[in-house]
A and B are shown apart, each in its own frame.
Chain A
Amino acid sequence: MEVLSLLAAGFVQVLTPVNLAVLAIGLVLGLVVAVLPGLTLVMGVVLALPFTYAMHVTPAIILLTAMYVTGTYGGAFTAILFRVPGEPIDVPLLWDGYTMARKGMPAQALGWTLFAAFCGGMLSACALAGLAAPVARVALTLSTPEYFAIIFFGLTSVVSLGGGSISNALISLCLGLLISTVGVDETYGAERFAFGVPMLTDGIEYLLVMVGAYGIGEVFTRLYQGYGAASLGRLGGLRTELPRLREIGRVKAALARSAFVGLVVGVVPGAGATIASFVAYGAEGQYGKRRKELGTGIAEGIVAPQTAATSSVGGAMIPLLTMGIPGSGATAIILGAFLLHGVQPGPQIFTNPEQSQIAYAVIASMFIGVLGMCLLGYFAIKLLVRVLDFPEAVISAFVVMFCFVGAFAARNNLSDLYVIAAFGVLGFLFERWRFPIAPLVLGSILGPLAENTFMTTMISFDNDWTVFFTRPVAGAVMAAAILAFVVPVVRDLWRRRKKTAAD
């Protein structure tokens, strides 16, 4: 009951003209960014960050959250219509969405996407509203060993859930963790890896790593590959046809399964919308009624990845709001925006009446945002897709500029530009050498939290490292973390053995 009244107050806050305008801007920008290939939703949220500096905390977070939600949906248009996935999230939509469009049913494919995004978004917003306060209450009872175990789980997840080599992901993670150790350590005040350079003594902000590796690195990669010109041709008959109730009844199992998968994957730190989208498609391939028809252009193949991707947003917001642990790139930026405005997300915000209003306004904005996103998707699709006509070279040049201004404005420090340019080069090299960037970024974000909780535990428990395994919650999470890491390795060994035996 208390949650409902807080949520109602959140709706009242969101429905003020300023917040509503900011939400609308966030929805449009999020869709535009998602439509453009080369601009991921994380980059979109990064690029919007400097605009939030002059705002109050509530509209700032509403803007970024709106971009995050719509970023999971906008890329579906181009994936289905032109086989151009605006985001990695949309790759599974190529298999059934594009195939359905090629069968002469693009309007139906777009309708299923809209329906899936709406259901996924609404269900995850409901879950976020319902779970945030109870999870925060539980989080208040946790101690540093449990926090370390949760963060450790996030770090192993980002290594094991990715698509590339586990060794490369581990290396990328180690580099991210090392970056986070640069500067003065928080426990003892000792200087580490600063080499007498004042710029390094202050440490390297994770925002710089993100902006450089994701933003500038991606621009360099696109520049190296060469910009292609997407020809849209005529878009005269482009429309969205919503599925009928009878048709919806047939996919309800896929919908429920994918919404659950998205929510759970979203909660896991280190996993995000892309992983949710792939895992849900995989789950449909294993457990779906029409699993043998997957890839031939069936509704389940569209509903599963899209529902999971949008549903993951609510899941990812749970650890951010209740524990202050960002599980993905986008939530890390949102955490950065919270901190820039002097609000530390965590269980305390649910015990502070003023700050809990902010949290519930953000949750309420997700409900309105999902509705607005679907209305925009339904009515403005032709206009949104036209964005693809814009020259990519021009967009890339502006992306670099927004990255620079965003990084500079956070601390008004010109030397930060050198840092993000360096991380841009590193991001490009990572892309070339097939090292994933997500573990690097997550390592730099979660590194300080991991080290602090580890050090505090060690000091509090007299250097007894077994405490991570003997306390029930910490032990269970550590076991899950180790399992998450071991499973892909064992699976690979088993496959190799099978292959050798077959040869």
Chain B
Amino acid sequence: MTGRVARAAPYALLLGVAGVLYSFALRIDTSAAAGRIGPDVWPRAVLVLLAVVCVYELAKSFLAADARSAGGMLQDYLDASIAADEAQSAARPSVRRLALGMGATLAYVLLVDVLGFFLATAAYLAVFVAIGGYRRWGVIAACALGGSLAMVVVFMKIVYVSLPLGAGPFRALSISLLALLGVR
């Protein structure tokens, strides 16, 4: 039973999302359509299709003896290659590593505007590589600082992308660095 609940969970979640979005779709302003097909029709049709597929999969999860879904044209080949991959793979999945990686990524997105591109990127590169399990600290430092500096030069000096400079003292630091690199 637990297996069936676990299998059904994503579909139940998506069905809920479809329901909520459908209620929002009913509130789309259709006054400009004036008797013609309105801007709500397309999203509502898509939501109905989404809900129907979710209901079908939910019903199958709990009622059918074989909950396997019909596969696409390449199903047989995919099954064979997945089996081969799994037999070969020596990887060890880790939720902790994933959570740390996602946390670091979110922190980067939040802090890049404050720390500026150079500092935030150097810190992120170092932290992410360490989370990934690589432990040669000299290489990590070189990759983080060298990589960040190279990206600043390439994107700001050659490609002319206006990357975030940061705020307060970090902004001053970024500007000094750019002056040093000859980026105007």
The interface of chain A, by Cβ under 8 A from chain B, is 50-51, 53-54, 83, 91-92, 94, 159-171, 174-175, 177-178, 181, 185, 187-193, 195, 216, 219-220, 223-228, 275, 278-279, 281-282, 391-394, 396-398, 400-401, 404-405, 408-409, 412, 414, 417-418, 421, 424-425, 428, 433, 435, 451, 454-455, 458-459, 463, 487-489, 491-493, 496
Q: Helix, strand, loop or mixed for chain A's interface? A: helix
Supposing A192-B28, A223-B131 touch, asked if A408 and B163 sit within 8 A by C-beta, the answer is: yes
Interface residues of B in 103-159 (CB under 8 A from A): 105-106, 108-109, 112-113, 121, 124-125, 128-129, 131-134, 139, 143, 147, 151, 154-155, 158-159
Supposing A409-B159, A421-B106 touch, asked if A224 and B36 sit within 8 A by C-beta, the answer is: no
Tell me the minimal C-beta distance from A490 to chain B in angstroms. Answer: 9
Does the CB pair A408–B129 fall under 8 Å?
no
Question: Which partner residue on chain B sits nearest A397 by CB separation?
Answer: B128
Question: Within the assembled complex, what's the spacing in Å between the Cα atoms of A349 and B92?
Answer: 51
Does the CB pair B97–A421 fall under 8 Å?
no
Q: Which of A224, A459, A488 has the most CB of B within 10 A?
A: A224
Does the CB pair B161–A397 fall under 8 Å?
no
Question: Within the assembled complex, what's the spacing in Å between the Cα atoms of A435 and B125?
Answer: 29
Asked if B46 is at the interface of the complex by the 8 Å CB criterion, the answer is yes
Partner of A275, one of B49, B74, B109: B74
List A contacts of B56 (CB < 8 A).
Answer: 167
Does the CB pair A397–B95 fall under 8 Å?
no
List B contacts of A451 (CB < 8 A).
Answer: 42
Partner of B132, one of A168, A187, A227: A227
How many chain B residues touch the partner (CB < 8 A)?
79
Partner of A164, one of B46, B75, B125: B75
List A contacts of B151 (CB < 8 A).
Answer: 401, 405
Tell me the minimal C-beta distance from B103 to chain A in angstroms. Answer: 11
List A contacts of B11 (CB < 8 A).
Answer: 171
Tell me the minimal C-beta distance from B132 to chain A in angstroms. Answer: 3
Q: Which of A92, A174, A187, A412 has the most CB of B within 10 A?
A: A174
List A contacts of B39 (CB < 8 A).
Answer: 185, 187-188, 190, 192
Does the CB pair B74–A278 fall under 8 Å?
yes
Supposing A225-B91, A393-B132 touch, asked if A167 and B53 sit within 8 A by C-beta, the answer is: yes
Tell me the minimal C-beta distance from B40 to chain A in angstroms. Answer: 8
List B contacts of A454 (CB < 8 A).
Answer: 42
Question: Which partner residue on chain B sits nearest A225 by CB separation?
Answer: B91
Question: Within the assembled complex, what's the spacing in Å between the Cα atoms of A167 and B163?
Answer: 42
Does the CB pair B129–A397 fall under 8 Å?
yes
Question: Could you name 22 residue pairs across A and B whose Cβ atoms are closer than 8 Å?
Answer: A54-B160, A94-B84, A161-B73, A162-B73, A163-B71, A163-B78, A174-B50, A178-B50, A223-B97, A223-B131, A224-B95, A226-B93, A278-B74, A393-B129, A394-B143, A405-B163, A435-B10, A455-B37, A488-B71, A488-B72, A488-B75, A493-B70
List A contacts of B131 (CB < 8 A).
Answer: 223, 393
Does the CB pair B112–A417 fall under 8 Å?
yes
Question: Which partner residue on chain A sits nearest B51 by CB separation?
Answer: A174
The interface of chain B, by Cβ under 8 A from chain A, is 10-11, 14, 21, 24-25, 28-30, 32-33, 36-40, 42-43, 46-47, 49-50, 53-54, 56-57, 66, 68-75, 77-78, 81, 84, 88-95, 97-98, 101-102, 105-106, 108-109, 112-113, 121, 124-125, 128-129, 131-134, 139, 143, 147, 151, 154-155, 158-164
Does the CB pair A167–B69 fall under 8 Å?
yes
List A contacts of B129 (CB < 8 A).
Answer: 391, 393-394, 397
Question: Within the assembled complex, what's the spacing in Å between the Cα atoms of A396 and B70?
Answer: 34
Question: Within the assembled complex, what's the spacing in Å between the Cα atoms of A275 and B73?
Answer: 9
Question: Within the assembled complex, what's the spacing in Å between the Cα atoms of A372 and B93?
Answer: 40
Q: Pick the 4 closest A-B CB pairs, nearest first.
A: A393-B132, A163-B78, A165-B69, A492-B70
Question: Which partner residue on chain A sits nearest B131 by CB separation?
Answer: A223
Does the CB pair B125–A166 fall under 8 Å?
no
Tell me the minimal C-beta distance from B24 to chain A in angstroms. Answer: 6
Does the CB pair A92–B70 fall under 8 Å?
no
Supposing A412-B162, A463-B36 touch, asked if A178 and B43 sit within 8 A by C-beta, the answer is: yes
Does the CB pair A397–B125 fall under 8 Å?
yes
Tell me the minimal C-beta distance from B162 to chain A in angstroms. Answer: 6
Question: Which partner residue on chain A sits nearest B159 by CB separation?
Answer: A54
List B contacts of A491 (CB < 8 A).
Answer: 70
List A contacts of B94 (CB < 8 A).
Answer: 224, 226
List A contacts of B101 (CB < 8 A).
Answer: 219-220, 223
Does the CB pair A171–B14 fall under 8 Å?
yes
Does the CB pair A279–B73 fall under 8 Å?
yes
Does the CB pair B70–A171 fall under 8 Å?
no
Tell me the minimal C-beta distance from A318 to chain B in angstroms. Answer: 22
